[in-house]
Amino acid sequence: MLRQYRLSNYRFRLVFWMLALSVLGILIIGSARESYQQRQIFGLILGIAAMIAVSLFDYTWVLNFYWLIYLVGSLLLGAVLLAGRNVNGATRWVSVGGLQFQPSDIVKIMLILFFAKFFELHQDDISKPKTVFFSVLLIGVQLFLILREPDLSTSIVVAAVFCAVIFSAGLTYKVIGAVFAVFIPIAIIGVSILMQPETEQMGNYQLRRIYAWMKPEEYPQDAQQQTNSIIAIGSGQLYGKGLNNEDVSSVKNGNYIPEPQTDFIFAVAGEELGFIGCCMIILLEFLIALECLLTGRQARSLSGTLICCGMAALIFFQSFLNVSVATGLMPNTGITLPFVSYGLTSLVSFYIGIGFVLNVGLQTRKY
């Protein structure tokens, strides 16, 4: 369970990038909603403690319980549907005593651990239809539970991370080509259905967000969040208006951005830190994901490599989705920006995931 490690193998550079981004996030949160800043600082301290503790546990020992990890993750998602707290039409939170957390954030890390072990055990038959079908069935159960909340953004991220992990495990290009051959026509048909006039009359709020993105002039109420976000980012220009500014023309100060400390934190960063600040955030997210990949290259086992690839994919896809929504490149889905947005469950979960990456780095391959 615990091993002897060499301090020189600890990825301090990865820790530095995370801390730099987290501190920047705390500053932006304080400017967006000062009342949340102290909680985020507490979350950072808790996350660092959890990261250090996890980084000292042998990940190969933890992966011995991979089926238990999958089962607990499924139970957590099931608990959301049975006894979750509904906020703004979505049930994503569970309260235990005075503690409230979002299980889907934790399940992202648990799924990476599960499939890291699962694909390691099936690395010799990873491309066989039986293995592919079984793995898709397993991830399908989790995706179904997440979609039922409903949480489309997390479902997209989880599906993308799964694809990255199974590809990294050695899935052949023939299977990948076959999947794309089926997926692309389905996607085209789906888009054509969405464009039908009768579909627009459906009351699903997720569909309304898609139409608001495609036709903002026809759905001004639903498109307002993204429109104001784009205006805020553009108004920051090169250097921004500064943190905690009292500019009367500020989109954030006028409360035109809903939940600026979470889903649209990038809009606040764009307005107050400008283009340079936005580039700094994107660069730090990229460096963290890159450091995870570099750590995975030196892992002593396939499961270690897949843990690192999974975390890199999670950080990349979730960051890309959040920034794309804030800049209007994708429909409004609602998801946090890793290490930056307010959210204790999200922040601590990411730090736990990085803790596993650090442990992989402590057990490098022997040449």
What are the distances in angstroms from CA 351 to CA 22, 51, 103, 108, 109? 10, 5, 15, 12, 10
Task: Kindly state the average pLDDT of the residues 84-92.
Answer: 62
Cα distance between residue 115 and residue 47, in whole Å: 23
Share of the chain above pLDDT 90, in %: 41
Tell me the residue length of the chain. Answer: 367
First-to-last C-alpha distance (Å) of the chain: 24
CB 174 within 8 A of CB 181: no
Task: Kindly state the average pLDDT of the residues 25-45.
Answer: 90
CB 157 within 8 A of CB 319: no
CB 364 within 8 A of CB 66: no
Q: Which of 162-176, 225-239, 288-302 has the highest mean pLDDT?
A: 288-302
Cα distance between residue 21 and residue 348, in whole Å: 14
Residue 335 clears pLDDT 90, i.e. is over it: no
Residue 2 clears pLDDT 50, i.e. is over it: yes
Task: Kindly state the average pLDDT of the residues 149-162.
Answer: 85
**Range list of β-strands (E), 300-344:** none
Quick one: pLDDT at residue 84?
67
Residue 350 clears pLDDT 60, i.e. is over it: yes
Model confidence at 358, pLDDT cuts 50, 70, 90, reads very high
Quick one: pLDDT at residue 174?
76
Higher pLDDT residue, 22 or 259?
A: 22
**Comparing C-alpha atoms, which of 250, 262, 269, 251 is closest to residue 39?**
262
Higher pLDDT residue, 168 or 225?
A: 168
Task: Kindly state the average pLDDT of the residues 48-75.
Answer: 93
Task: Kindly state the average pLDDT of the residues 29-33.
Answer: 86
Task: Kindly state the average pLDDT of the residues 130-144.
Answer: 90
Quick one: pLDDT at residue 173?
77
Quick one: pLDDT at residue 47?
95
Quick one: pLDDT at residue 364?
74
CB 27 within 8 A of CB 240: no
Quick one: pLDDT at residue 223?
62
Residue 101 clears pLDDT 60, i.e. is over it: yes
Structure tokens given for 169 = 């495990």
Quick one: pLDDT at residue 255?
67
Task: Kindly state the average pLDDT of the residues 198-208.
Answer: 54
Q: Which range, of 27-31, 118-122, 145-149, averages the lowest pLDDT?
A: 145-149
Residue 119 clears pLDDT 90, i.e. is over it: yes
Quick one: pLDDT at residue 233?
87
> In Å, how far from its chain's centre is CA 357?
16
Q: Average model confidence (pLDDT) for the chain?
A: 83
Q: What is the largest CA-CA distance in the chain?
A: 64
Residue 355 clears pLDDT 70, i.e. is over it: yes
DSSP classification of residue 93: E
Residues 6+ apart with CB under 8 A from 145: 74, 77, 78, 80, 81
Task: Kindly state the average pLDDT of the residues 4-16.
Answer: 84
Cα distance between residue 91 and residue 291, in whole Å: 34
CB 79 within 8 A of CB 100: no
Quick one: pLDDT at residue 203?
46
Q: Which range, of 144-148, 163-167, 219-223, 292-296, averages the lowest pLDDT?
A: 219-223
Quick one: pLDDT at residue 86?
63
Sketch the domain layout of the chain as residue ranges: 7-362
Higher pLDDT residue, 327 or 90?
A: 327
Q: Is 148 exposed, middle or buried (0-12, 13-18, 19+ CB in 10 A)?
A: middle
Higher pLDDT residue, 148 or 250?
A: 148
